[in-house]
Homo-oligomer: A and B are copies of this chain.
Amino acid sequence: MTSRITLKKIATEFNISIATVSKALNNSPDISSKTKEKIQEYAKKHHYKPNKAALSLLNKKTKTLGVIIPNIMNSFFTEVFVGIEEKASQLGYSLISCISNESYDKEVNTVELLKSGTIDGFIVSIAEETQINKNFNHFIEAINEGVPIVLFDRITDAINCDKVIVNDIEGARHATEHLIKTGCKKIALVSVIDTLSVGKLRVEGYKKALTDHNIAINEKIIVRLNKKEDLETSMKIILSDKSIDGLLCLEESSAIQSLQLIKSMNYKIPEEMSIICFTNGKLPQHVTPAITTISQHGKYIGEVATKMLVDRLEGKSELEFTTKIIKTSLIERETTFPLK
């Protein structure tokens, strides 16, 4: 931050009052067009820009949005971020962005830091730790203090606010059904995100599809791991059951790992093993064979969330909070048979 030209300096220059300069630059009808002209010209020449801090203080608005994302190395969140960025800049808002790194403490600190006069509202996807310990007070307090929040993807009923989510149940159900319809008889599930709201919902969708098709749910072939556990070993145990011929992975990284393993075990894909995973990033697309994915349309989610927050800030929303549900799409690739 710097000592740029101010209204005061311009006023001194022309020997007029600060108020006149302010009005002239804001094109007030009060001021004679002659005065306006010369002041505007001078201001332009000297690159006058109103000081944001002063405006924030005055208006109690910063035109800045706080974005809290759990992990930017995750392609879904990167995509959402792109959407947020594009929409925000289009609507005239800046972004303060933080990576919670899945940490509850970092999330709390960030909220504390930003809510007091730095930003007008938050766009948040909840950190894993927070989804586990279920302590959402930092968010609830922010809302009570008048800082609106839009939650996306990882949400909770405990916070009453606007939300944007994907239909995780339906996405998983549809994917599982696709596996069934393309001939899979025994479908395993791999989740390294069972601590997350979205993880639980996706399991639900998987079970629903099985039930719909009169297939018994077998908890033994539902692999739930935390990130530190050894995926490879667990997968090897599961895959010792050679009748398993379908795999639903709830996110990208475990899908990539499983694929490597399955290839190394010389399965024919998709003949002997079909695979579908959540999140349509570059990785599943470029791996060999390319993985059939469920796209959550991350960029669109970001755009919608931003629009919702700005509408709320500018008083254009209903009083009631709403939850927007974005439809997922199945992107068929080489790890599944085409539907006949």
Contacts and interface: CB of A to CB of B under 8 A. Distances in A.
A244 interface: no
A287 interface: yes
Copies in the complex: 2
Interface string A282-299: 110011100000000000
B1 A120 contact: yes
A286 to B, nearest CB: 5
Contact of A97 (B50, B57, B79, B97): B97
A5 to B, nearest CB: 9
A312 to B, nearest CB: 13
Nearest to A121: B1
A120 B2 CA distance: 8
Interface of A: 1-4, 47, 49-54, 56-57, 60-62, 64, 72-73, 78-79, 81-82, 85-86, 89, 94-99, 106, 112-120, 141, 145-147, 256, 260, 263, 282-283, 286-288
A24 to B, nearest CB: 18
B62 A73 contact: no
Contacts of A54: 53, 57, 117
Given A50-B116, A56-B53, A73-B82, A94 B96 contact: yes
Contacts of A282: 283
A93 to B, nearest CB: 10
Contacts of A146: 1-4
12 contacts: A1-B119, A1-B147, A2-B145, A2-B146, A4-B145, A53-B54, A57-B57, A72-B72, A85-B98, A89-B98, A95-B98, A260-B286
Contacts of A78: 72-73, 78
A283 B89 CA distance: 29
User: Chain A: interface secondary structure?
Assistant: mixed
A123 to B, nearest CB: 13
Contacts of A2: 60, 115, 145-147
Contact of A64 (B96, B283, B288): B96
Contacts of A116: 4, 49-52
Nearest to A2: B146
A81 B89 contact: no
A4 to B, nearest CB: 6
A69 B114 CA distance: 22
A120 B298 CA distance: 32
A169 B260 CA distance: 34
A47 B116 CA distance: 10
A56 to B, nearest CB: 4
Contact of A60 (B1, B287, B288): B1
Given A82-B73, A99-B82, A1 B56 contact: yes
A2 B149 CA distance: 13
